[in-house]
Structure formats: structure tokens, C-alpha cells
Amino acid sequence: MTAGRDDPGGEASRIFELQEEVEQLKEAVASHAVVDQAIGMMVALGRVTPDQGWGVLKDVSQRTNIKLRNVADLILIWGRNGELPPEIRAELEEALDRHGPTQIPEAPPE
């Protein structure tokens, strides 16, 4: 006997679960790409290693209580239009100081 015959709603329920799982995996892949791009910006602009770039993003996320994916989004937006919320910029500068050798290029003087 098949599951569909024993439980007519079981097959539809399983299909729904699999569709949800696929959507979650798509979101995870997209999120991973955004984070990787932000790490790349830290490597290029902050002159840090990829591991240090990851640490910078984690630090900013933890210290601002903003999800890491959202911090990465903000950094990518900053890369496109030069706008970064002041509190994120300050935390980013401090994190780069802790993890790497330089500050954010063209950061306003303190």
C-alpha cells in the first residue's frame, strides 16, 4: 500500500513541506551570496583576509543587534550609493580596527 492510499492528505502535505523546504533553501543561497559579497567588500576596502571580513560582519551584527544578512545588505547598498547609517559606519570602523590594519577609506575624520 502507498502512503497516498492510506493517508489521502499525506501526499499533499509532503508536497507542501518540500515546497517550503525549497523556498528556505533558495533564501539561504541568496543570503549566502549577499554575505559573501559583503565579505568581498571588506577584503577589498578594509584590506583584511576573508576570515577577518567574516569577523567584521559578525562583530557589526552583534554590536548593533542587526541580523548579519541585513548588515551585509547595508554594506552592499553603501558600496553602490555611498550611504551607510552612522551607527553602522561607526561599528564597521571599530570592527575593522579590531580585525584588520586599516579604516574605511574616505571615512569622515573624527
* Residue showing cell 518540500: 18
Q: Which of 58, 83, 86 is nearest to 70 (CA)?
A: 58
- Kindly state the percentage of the chain with pLDDT values over 70: 84
What are the grid coordinates assigned to 24, written together? 528556505
Calculate the average pLDDT of the chain: 84
pLDDT tens column, 36-87: 999 999 999 888 999 999 999 999 999 999 999 999 999 999 999 999 999 9
Q: What is the pLDDT of residue 43?
A: 92
Q: How confident is the model at residue 12 (pLDDT cuts 50, 70, 90)?
A: confident
Q: What is the pTM assigned to this prediction?
A: 0.69
Domain positions in the chain are 9-99
Assess whether pLDDT exceeds 50 at residue 4: no
Element (H, E) at 66: none
Q: Please check whether residue 105 is in contact with residue 45, taking contact to mean a CB–CB distance below 8 angstroms.
A: yes
Q: Which of 41, 42, 40 is nearest to 56 (CA)?
A: 42
